[in-house]
Structure 1
Amino acid sequence: MLAGIHVPLITPFAADGSVDLAGLDKLAHHVLDQGAAGLVALGTTGETATLTEPERAAVVRVAARAAREHGATLIVGAGSADPRVTADTLRSLRADAALVTVPSFVRPGERGVVAYFEALAAATAVPLVIYHIPYRTGQNVGAETLRHLGGLPMVAGVKYASGLDATAVSLLGDPPQDFSVLAGDDVFVSPLLALGAAGGILASAHLATRDFVELAGAWRAGDVLRARELGARLARVSVTLFAEPNPTVLKGVLHAQGMIATPEVRLPLLPAGRASVEAALASL
C-alpha cells in the first residue's frame, strides 16, 4: 500500500523561462532527505499543462533518479479525458504508480467515471491512484463509487482533495482492502489522518517536510496531543500557501528561502504578491 507523505513537485523555472532541472533535482533530494515517502511528478503543482512533452520527460527523469537513489516511491501524473490516450501513456510509464484525474470538464457522471477507470485498469502497466478533486473537475464521486473502483486489481488508492466531507468519513470508515486514501487537500490532512488516511500528497510539504512526516507518524502511533498541535500549526501554514493560485505562493516562499532560483510561473498564472509570500513566511 502507498503510505506516508508524498510531495507533488513544483517545476522551477530559470530566469530565461526554461525548466531549471538542477533546481528540481536539489528540491527533490531535499524533501526526501527530510523524510518524504515519495515524489509526485507532473501533478497540478508542477504546472504540467504548461510544459512541453520534452520538458515533461525531463522532469520525470529527474524525479525518478532522485526517488531511486532514496529508495522512495515515484508517482507520475498521467491522464486525459480520452481513455485511449491515457492508456497509451500508462503502457509506457516507468513509475511506481500513476496519478489519474477523474475526467474533467465533460462531467461524465459516476457511471462514466467507473467505466473510464475500469478501461484504464484493464490496460495499465502500473497501479493507478485516482485523483478526486471535484472543484477542478466538476465531477463529484461518492464513497460507494470509490469503494467499487478500489476493488479493481490495478487501482491502488485515491488522492482525496475534497476536504473533510461525508464521502471522506464514509470511505475511511470502510475502505477497500489494500486501498490507500491519501489526503490531497492540505488544510484537512490532519483530520483525514485521524480518520485513518494512509498519508497525503501535499504541496505544502515542500516546506516543513519533517513536520508533515511527524504529523503522519503521530496519528499512526496514537499520539493525539502531538498530532493535534502539529496539525493545527501546519493547517495555518497551508492556508497561507493557498492564498493565491497554487503554486504561486509556494514558489515565492521557496525562492525567498534560497531553494529555487526564481519564483516564476507560466501563464495563465502570475507570481504571488509580496504580502502573500511574507504572510506564508511568517506562518513558518
Structure 2
Amino acid sequence: MTFTGLWVALATPFTSTGDVDLPAFRRLVRHVAAGGADGVVVLGSTGEAATILDPERDALVEACLESAGPMGVVVGTGSNATRQTAEWTRRAQAQGARGALVVTPYYNKPTPEGLRAHYEAVAWAAPGLPLIAYNVPGRTGLNLTPAALAGLWENPQVAAVKESSGNLAQIAEIARTLPPGKILLSGDDNLALPSIAVGASGLVSVLGNAVPRETAALVRAALEGRRAEAIALHQALLPLMDALFAESNPIPLKAALERLGLCGSTLRLPLTSASQATRDRLASLLPAGGAA
C-alpha cells in the first residue's frame, strides 16, 4: 500500500441524540471519494475516536470499507495502552484495512525505547499490516523527534509518518533523513505545500472532508511541481483552512459539514458545538448545501 497523495481524516457524524449516524458517514465517504482523494482514515482525531465506543468502531470501519470504492482505507488504532492498540490493529487488519494510523502513546510519556517496543508489539499483533506513526504533540504531550523516529524506521511495518508537529524545521529534518521506501505525510492542511516542498509525499487532511476536489488539486499540483498553481490553490484555500481550526478540531469541521448538507454538527462531550462567530466565518466561505 502506498500512502502518497491526499488522504482524508474522516469526521464521524452523529445523530441529534449522539448516536453514530452511519447513513451520513457513508454519504461523507462517497463525497470524499467523488472529490478524488487517494484514501481515507477512519477513527482518527478528526473522527473523535477517543469518544467512540468499542462496538461502534467495527461498524464504522465496515461502513467505510463498503463505501470507499477504489480509495485506500486506513484505520486509526492508537491508544495510550499498547495492548489496546494491538487489539484494535489486529481487528482492523481482519476487517480488511490497508493500514493502521497509530498515534504515539499519550499521557504515559514513554521513552524512545518504550516507543520502539510499543510499535513492535502492534506490528506483531497484525503481521504485514503497514503502520503509519502519528506525531501530534499538541494532543499527546509527546514529540516524536527525528532521532526517536529513526528507531521506529527499523521496524519494516512502520511505513510512514503523519507529521503534525507544526514545526517545518522538524519536518524538513525528517525528510532529509527519510530512509528509502518510507513516506512522510503532512498532518496539517496549512503546511501541506511547504511540507511537500521539503520532501513530504502527501497530506492527511481535515479540509478534504469539506472540499476534497480542491484539496486534491492542491496536493497534486504541489507533488507534480506546478508551483504557481499550487501557490494559487493554497492561497485560495487558506482562509477555510484557518477557519476549520478556529476552535478545536473537529468542532468547526462539523459546522462546515452541516452547512454543506453532509451531516449534522453534533459532537460528543467533552467537545461542544461551534460558536456563532465560527459559524458566521464558515458561512462567508462555504455555500449552504453546497455538497448536498
Normalised-by-shorter TM-score class = over 0.9
1:237-260 Cα offsets, whole Å, 9 max, x none, are 111111011111111111112111
Q: State the percentage of identical aligned residues.
A: 36
In the alignment, structure 1 segments of 5+ residues that lack a partner are: none
Equivalence map 1:113-152=2 (5 Å): 113-125=115-127, 126-152=129-155
SS in 2 for 1:263: coil
**What is the deviation of 1:198?**
1.2
Please state how far the C-alpha of 1:123 moved relative to its aligned partner. Answer: 3.2
User: What are the equivalent positions in structure 2 for 1:89-168 lying under 5 Å apart?
Assistant: 89-93=88-92, 94=95, 95-125=97-127, 126-168=129-171
Q: Of 258, 271, 274, which residue of structure 1 is paired with 2:273?
A: 271
Q: For structure 1, which segment, 232-241 or 22-31, has the greater mean C-alpha deviation from structure 2 after superposition?
A: 232-241
Q: Which moved more, 1:184-193 or 1:147-156?
A: 147-156
Cα separation, 1, equivalents of 2:243 and 2:212: 16
5+ long unaligned stretches in structure 2: 287-292
Alignment partner, residue 62 of structure 1:
63
> How far did residue 107 of structure 1 move?
1.0
Runs ≥4 residues deviating over 3 A: none
Q: Which residue of 1 aligns with 2:290?
A: none
Contact kept? 2:210, 2:260, Cα under 8 Å: no
TM-score, length of structure 1 as denominator length: 0.94
Give the aligned partner of residue 36 of structure 2.
35
- Tell me by how many angstroms 1:217 deviates: 1.1
Corresponding position of 1:201: 204
Task: Name the counterpart of 2:46.
Answer: 45
Q: Are positions 1:23 and 2:38 aligned together?
A: no
* In structure 1, C-alpha distance between the alignment counterparts of 2:59 and 2:88, rounded to whole Å: 16
Deviations 1:130-178 (A, max 9, x none): 0100111111121132233223211110111011332211111231122
Counterpart for residue 83 of structure 1: 82
What CA distance in whole angstroms lies between the structure 2 residues aligned with 1:89 and 1:172?
29
Which has the larger displacement, 99-108 or 7-16? 7-16
Query: Given the superposition, is the C-alpha separation of residues 280 and 151 from structure 1 closer, same or farther in structure 2, using an over 3 Å criterion?
Result: farther
Equivalent residue for 1:211?
214
Give the distance between the partners of 1:248 and 1:167, measured in 2 at CA: 28
Write the distance in 2 (CA, Å) between the matches of 1:38 and 1:4.
8
Output the amino acid matched with 2:131: L
Separation in structure 2 between the aligned mates of residue 267 and residue 209 of structure 1, nearest angstrom? 27
2:33 partner SS: helix
- State the alpha-carbon separation in 2 of the partners of residues 264 and 139 from structure 1: 29
The alignment's TM-score, normalised by the length of structure 2, stands at 0.91
Aligned residues: 281
Q: Look up the SS of the partner of 1:270 in the other structure.
A: coil
